[in-house]
Amino acid sequence: MKTLKRRRKKNLTDYKKRIAFLKGNRPRIVFRKTNRYLIAQYVTSDETKDVVEIGINSKSLINYGWPKEFQNSLKSIPAAYLLGFLIGKRIMREKRETPIADFGMIRVLHKSKPFAFLKGLIDSGLSIKQKKDAFPSEERIAGKNLKKDFSGKFKEIKSMIEKEKNA
């Protein structure tokens, strides 16, 4: 019987996926969820050493006009889309190589936060291949399904991200 590694036991690392990513020799866009926020990182690997080139969490959306009454929804589908859009714009502006999506141990279900994040990356200008039916609907991405309609604020935040030169 094979003994599992500590990080695998704690459900933190899938070593089979990690080795495949490292053999691919391409940068990764890492998407993680915490209890309060979403985290996105552009990571390059040299042998087994990972270097975070660009790192953003959903708390930075507050700087772009995320409203106070939606402060607790910085883990929502609109937040995931805007986070992907923001980091995608930074990758495009710095002219970095197109990354591979790395969702780690998150359960990746169709029409969920990871796919909203991917949609944000694609809408920012990155060319990532993905089936269109996996993305959440435009209404869910814009936040029309939330208790209070978020779609107006969503458009404002997205336009602020597009206008910013040093996003």
pLDDT per residue, tens digit, the chain (167 aa), is 788 889 888 888 888 888 888 888 899 999 999 999 999 999 999 887 999 999 999 999 999 999 989 988 999 999 999 999 999 999 999 999 999 999 998 989 999 999 999 999 999 999 999 999 999 999 999 999 888 889 999 999 999 999 987 65
Q: Is residue 134 a contact partner of residue 115, using CB atoms and an 8 Å limit? A: yes
**CATH class of domain segment(s) 11-163:** alpha beta
The pairing of strands 100-102 and 28-33 is parallel
CA-to-CA distance for 80 and 125, rounded, in angstroms? 16
Direct distance between the N- and C-terminal alpha carbons of the chain, in angstroms, rounded to an integer: 50
Give the residue among 129, 133, 167, 146 at the shortest CA–CA distance from 77. Answer: 146
CA-to-CA distance for 167 and 153, rounded, in angstroms? 18
